[in-house]
Structure 1
Amino acid sequence: MAVKTKDLCKMFGSFKALDNVNIEVQEGEVYGFIGPNGAGKSTTIRILLGMLNATSGQASIFGKDVWEDAVDIHKRIAYVPGDVNLWPNLTGGEVIDLFMKFRGKMNKKKREQLIRRFDFDPSKKCRTYSKGNRQKVSLIAAFASDADLYILDEPTSGLDPLMERTFQECVMEVRREGKSVLLSSHILSEVERLCDRVGIIRKGQIIESGTMDELRHLTRTNLLVETKKPIPALHETAGVHHVEMNEQGIAFQVDSEKLGEVIQYISQFGVSKLESGSPTLEDLFMRHYEGTTQAKSGGESQ
C-alpha cells in the first residue's frame, strides 16, 4: 500500500478540518483527490508530508508512519505544491539541481529531457519567472527524480494547455513504471483522464470514492432527443433534470437508474434522433455540490 489513512481527523481550535478521512492509494495507481477550496485536500496532504500532526487517526506511506518516519519517507516521494516559492537569486536550473540533491538521486539525462519537453529556460533567475514557469521548476525536479510516490497538489496551476498535456504524459509514464501518484486537482477532466480511482472530499469528509466505473451509477446520463410529437411535462418526469431546448433538439439529464423508464416514455412520441453522453466526473461532482450551492443561495455564506 503506497498511502493509507484511517479515521484521520484534524482540528484547528474548534474547527474540524478533517473528519475521519480514509484514503487508500495502491502501489502503481493514480489516485485523484478532488474537492473545492477549503474541503480539506491540502490539510490531508500536509499531514501525509509530515508538515502537520493529525489530531487523531493514522496515516502511513509505504507502511511507515508519516509523522515518526518522515525522513525515511521523503527519500521515496516527490512533492509538487500548487504555488511554488523559489529562491529569487538562483536560476531555475540551480533550483532544479538543489531539489534533486535533496532527494539524493540525480538523473541528468532525464533532467535535460524534461527541460526540453516543458520548453523551459533554466538559465534565468527565479525572480523573473511567471507562475507557470515556477511550476515547471517543481515539476521537472519531481519527474527527474526516481521517486516511488508523487504527491501532486494542484500541479498544473499556471500552466498553458500544451504544458498541461506534457504533464499528463509524465504522469502516465511514471504510472507505467509502477510508481504511485496522489493527484489533488480541481480540473475534473484531467482527473478523469489520468486517475484509476477517485476520492471526493467535502467539508473534511470523503463522500464518495472508487473507480470511475464504480461511481458512474451515481451520475446522470446526458441525452439529446428529437421527437415527431412534443413531449408533455418532460421536466416533471421522475429522474429527469435540466431540460433545455436548443437547435439540435431537447437536451436533458437522466438519473441512470431511471434511464430505461424515461426512454420508454419518450419513445411513444416518435423519436427521430437520440444521442447519449457518458456520465462524467464533473456530473458526479456537481451533483454532490448542488445541495450546498442551493443552500448558500438563500443568503447565508460559509
Structure 2
Amino acid sequence: MTQAIVVEGLRKRFGRREVLHGLDFAVEPGTVFGVIGPNGAGKTTTMRCLLDIIRPSAGTISVLGQDPQQGGIALRRRIGYLPGELHLENRTTGRRMVEHFAAISGPVDPRYVEELAERLGLDLDRQTRKLSKGNKQKLGLLQAFMHRPELLILDEPTSGLDPLVQQQFHAMIGEAMDRGATVFLSSHVLSEVQLTADAVAILRDGEIVTISTVEALRTAAVRQVKFTAAGTDAHDVGTLLARVPGVDNVVLRESPPSGHTGKSVEARATLSGQVQGLVQALAHLNLSELVLEEPDLEEAVLTLYAKGSPSRENTPRPSSVREGAHHA
C-alpha cells in the first residue's frame, strides 16, 4: 500500500536563512502522525510544503501518492486542511463560508455539516466578525472535516478550544480513522497528540530529533518512585537499588524501630526505562507503601529538545507503529 506521505531531504530557505534542514519521514495510511515542537520549530512550514502553499528549496514530497506540485485541485480535494492562523472574511456568516469551502472541496453532505456544527456548538448563522477565537477554530475544523477527506492536515487543531470541544475533536479524529483516513497534525503541547497519535516526530530548529511512538516515549521517560520498606536499613535498600538498571537520584531516610517491624526506610528515586527490574528487586522487601508515578512525557520531550544533535537511532519507523495503536 502506498504511504500517505513521504518526505525525503526536505529543506526550505527564506532568503539566506534555512528553516528546514533535510527532513525525512513517512506516514502510513490510516494512522495519526503527530509533529511536536516549540513555536518556530518548522511545523507550519512543513505543512505548507506538503500542501504546495510554499515550495521546498530541496528534497522530494509525495502526498497520497502524488507530487503536491503536480496534483492540483484533484489532490487538494482529497485533503482537509486547518491552518494555524485561519483568516476569515468578516462581512459574511459561517454558513456562507462553509458553502464557499464546500465549492472548493467538492461534494459535501449538508446534513453532515449540520451534525458537525451541532457537535462543536457552532452557530453557522452568526457573522464571522463576531466569532470568538474558539468559534473561529470550530469553523476551521468543520471545513476541514466536512468533506470526509482521505488526509487531514491540522496545524495546532485544539488551539482556543475548551475541554468539552476538545473531546469532540478527538471523537472526530477517531471517526475519521474508522473511515480509513490519515491524520497529520502538529502541536507544541504533547498532551494534545498523545491521546490519538500512532507516531510522534519531535521537531526542533528545523530538524527531527526523533520519531517514536507515544508508548516508546513513555517507556523512556523518567518516573518518580517512592516506597517504604519495613524490617531493613538504609544501607541494604541502597545496595539493592544500586543494582537496578535505570534507578537514579536515590534518597533514603531511616526510621527507628517501631513495634515488631524493626527499622523502616523511606526511599525516593527516579526510574528511566522498564519497570520490571525495579519490581523484581522490591519483591525482596517488606513494603508498606509503594508509589510509581506515571512518566512525565513533557519532561521526556524537553530532554530530547535539550540533546545536542538529532538522532533517530533505535526508534521505530512510522511503518512499524500501527500495531497496537489506540484512538480516542
What amino acid is the match of 1:272?
S
1:287 is matched with: 303
1:210-246 CA distance string (max 9 Å, x none): 3234444432233232334675797x9684467799x
The answer to whether the 8 Å contact 1:82/1:156 transfers is no
2:273 is matched with 256
Aligned equivalent of 1:64, options 63, 66, 73 = 66
Residues 200 and 208 in structure 1, CA contact (< 8 A), matched pair in contact too: yes
**Percent of aligned pairs with the same amino acid:** 33
Larger Rg: 1 or 2?
2
Structure 2 unmatched ranges of 5 or more: 253-265, 309-328
Contact in 2 for aligned 1:153/1:185 (Cα 8 Å): yes
Q: Give the counterpart letter for 1:139 in structure 2.
A: L
* Matches of 2:274 and 2:122, distance apart in 1: 49
The code of the aligned residue for 1:44 comes to T
Equivalent residue, structure 1, for 2:127: 125
Which one of the candidate residues 39, 42, 49 is aligned to 1:40? 42
Residues in 1 aligned to 2:96 and 2:303: alpha-carbon distance in whole angstroms: 46
Q: Which moved more, 1:93-102 or 1:219-228?
A: 219-228
Ranges in structure 1 where 5+ consecutive residues have no aligned partner: 293-302
Q: Encode CA deviations 1:85-111: one digit per residue, 9 max, x unaligned.
A: 110011111111211221011210100
For the structure 1 residues 107 and 219, does the alpha-carbon distance in structure 2 shift closer, same or farther, using more than 3 Å as the test?
A: same
Aligned-CA RMSD value? 2.8
Q: Is the 8 A contact 1:97 1:141 kept in 2?
A: no
1:274 corresponding residue in structure 2 = 290
Q: Is the Cα–Cα contact under 8 Å of residues 48 and 66 in structure 1 kept in the other structure?
A: yes
Q: Which residue of 2 aligns with 1:218?
A: 220
8 A contact 2:44–2:84 mirrored in 1 = no
Match of 1:104 in 2: 106
- Cα offset for 1:259? 6.7
Cα distance change of structure 1 residues 290 and 259 upon mapping to structure 2, 3 Å threshold: farther
TM-score (norm 1): 0.85
Which residue matches 2:4? 2
* TM-score, normalised with respect to structure 2: 0.78
Following TM superposition, where does structure 1 have runs of at least 4 consecutive aligned residues deviating by more than 6 angstroms? 242-245, 266-269
Is the CA contact (8 Å cut-off) linking 1:33 and 1:200 kept in structure 2?
yes
- Deviation, 1:276, is 2.3
* CA deviation string 1:24-44 (max 9, x = no partner): 111111111111111111110
2:82: which partner in 1?
80
Distance 2:119 2:304 in 1: 37
Label 1:161 to 1:268 Cα distance change in 2 as closer, same or farther (>3 A): same
Query: Deviation of residue 55 (structure 1)?
Result: 1.1
Structure 1 residues 78 and 272, CA, compared in 2 at 3 Å: closer, same or farther?
Answer: same
- Letter paired with 1:193: L
